Amino acid sequence: MTKEHVYRINTVWTGASQGSTSSYDAYSREYAINIEGKPPFVGSADPTFRGDASLYNPEDLLLMALSACHMLSYLALCARAGIRVVSYSDAATGKMAQKNGKIRFTEVILHPLVTIEAGDDLEKARSLHDNAHHVCFIANSVNFPVLHEATVMELNSSGTNPI
């Protein structure tokens, strides 16, 4: 049975307090997003589009969502398969370019670096990245390739990652 999940946010352009959109060069791109029960989130446009480089932009958020979704999907799959992940990080990259007359994301590459407990199934842990990609809700929702170049290693006998 399919369940519907509904998410609600309230986005407010807080830059209005600094003046109206009297010209493209003059207005603030700052905004706040409020989600009931969560702390407010403050963002801006990318600096290329006259935003504040010290704040998150929508492009950052998309990349963050893809990386987090893959990680959470992967960790769930590993837990179900009896693979004990002891560390996970991802240095994800996203590319935007003009395509079909529009600027859009053309590709995201995730670079998960995973360490599992010694003795767990290393090949299975590697293969679960493909499964994680297929069950990631966010990756299933975008119209560009989301690739992954994962590195999975075992914890060595001293309890540290191999070099």
pLDDT score for 163: 38
Residue where the block lists tokens 């809700």 = 137
Q: pLDDT 10s digit of each residue in the chain, 163 long?
A: 468 888 888 888 888 888 887 878 888 898 889 999 999 999 999 999 999 999 999 999 999 999 999 999 999 999 999 999 999 999 999 999 998 899 999 999 999 999 999 999 999 999 999 999 999 999 999 999 999 999 999 998 655 555 3
Q: How many CB atoms lie within 10 A of CB 44?
A: 21
pLDDT of residue 116: 95
Q: CA-CA distance, 11 to 74, in Å (whole number)? A: 31
pLDDT at 90: 95
| pLDDT confidence of residue 160 | 55
The answer to whether residues 94 and 105 touch, using CB atoms and an 8 Å cutoff, is: yes
Per-residue pLDDT, 157: 60
Burial classification of residue 158, based on how many CB atoms lie within 10 Å of its CB (0-12 exposed, 13-18 middle, 19 or more buried)? exposed
| pLDDT score for 7 | 82
